[in-house]
Structure 1
């Protein structure tokens, strides 16, 4: 298993000597195997190894037991551990997606490369899920081996290899009771479809995962061919092969503030290209309108920049697209969408201002640079809430709490952001 891990790391240039690598550890078999394998390889790779655990509080005592297990395991091998937590609430996409978003928001707030324990089986299951739901080349690429500072070095390692590795080293792990439930599509595929397909070919998981990695490389090539500083003119777009044109339009829509462009949105913009009318437009989610002006496409966002508002505490405040709740804290929770702070005077929510900066665990950075580094579309930057009090910035939604303003003890207040306010006109 270690040799496969090394090959994957080197093939995708995941880690460089001197890097800090933070392994995401749930306590389950896959993540324990990843953490211990990296522990064995850390000197060879010349890295600083850390771990991170996120408690979603979804399974009561079982969730707390997972956290205690990870703390004990990391302590046993003297591995520094970061722990985050949140009371996850179901959003528009459901509880599972909300939990994943909260977990990744926490992980991305940490410094270093974040290593997750997605295996060949996870990748194969994702391919099958997307085929069932309907997808294209990008979707069949499934789980990315590298995504920003997140690396996934176990994508060609199957579950049997994980179990053999744990048994060989006598390593304990936790079992997530929710994995036994067939309420989720992934679990039904894992329990029913995968065993049937593996009976035809025991190497199914590795084969599907390898296929996904190759398709992702093809998609990356096509995307690179569509990466322009400015969108080409209408005639140039019309002359492109459809695969390239679609990706140009998708990139244009994302940069214009459409968070997740769908096929219907891309088709709508393509309709503008081939319209007989030299001036036409199409309305898209997020208040974005794309117009054709003879040989150019233009995008405009109709949502105004939010005005500063006083945060009601305790209580609920609507700010732009966000519903913000403030409550007395019963514990300290700090994630990119939940801050526990001890404010001085009145708290306000406002849009960014020139010169804004925030100190995170890795040091002080300007908000402008953070938005660029995290690839937040320009159209969204004016609408992200900045939480302040009379002494300055307390935290910034999606970025995190100011390291100097996070509460170290109670009493304090917890401020939580939900992106659940319906778009006007919906």
Structure 2
């Protein structure tokens, strides 16, 4: 049985966030910025320097997102077993080395699509561990009343990174070369490692060691049996399939259909982060005016509107429509991310947080290689236009799932779940 408060936690005054969390937040900003510069630079290098086709950029996106599908759940179990700070520090170091590896290959004129894909896979493996451990670490650093504020701070930093990273990556690749983009990303990642290394993680109650499969089964059972977590998982899956079906072919689509160069493509991708910043800044005002459940429906419907804006470029090729599409993809879903993360943290037992976070990461990010692979297959068989239409279908499904679920009818954040 759930006990529901009369007032959402997002509206309660939060205490000042502690120094350990501030260190995590800054690390998160540097890590997310490094990731976004690298993700923006990779398809641009593939198309402009290595002559990649839409099918090949789709396969590259698949390699760069596949670790989320393969590694999220195992890393979630490790997150619950050991030090989250140590895991995040190691993960960010792996990402830093992958960026430095691309830089060295560029300098040596030895970079190829397979090597770019392999190093992208390694960098994404670091991203997975960081992404799974962060929401599990936050509740140990801040009070329950401060969870919404802390998650909002994390997402605002991510919004800034998503805003500046792709635009900066596109400008660096277009103006002075890809080496500068990867060098800057590696330096930012090194700053994140240094901040994490100095973070003090509070001690946790020792856990009785259990078999890996048993721990994994418990986490999956908890999520799949929960009437709120289950539809959120399904919504995240279809959102990301639609998003990455589109993302997989966007750079060649923008070059050949919209007539954009590297810098202009970087600006359209950067509109995603601008939307995230605007959504994060508007979130407190929106939360005061709408019920918690209605706030959670905004993101999925903004995703659907974004896909329709991109589909409109099939008839009217336009830089502005493409930028609007990515803006909407950032503005609405940031509300979903903050709200859904807070809801999971509020109703999930502390000892299961890593596994539940990992299952969510598998849904949220693990669906991305499936979407990217779908984009590669559809573009090879039916062309890039069909990928845009397929993305609209994916976004329509996720909007329908959430609006029909009990999540949409929540007045406030549930306090707890009975044991």
Greater RCO, CA 8 A, separation 6+: 2
Greater strand content: 1
TM-based fold match above 0.5: no
Length-normalised TM-score, structure 1: 0.26
Length-normalised TM-score, structure 2: 0.26
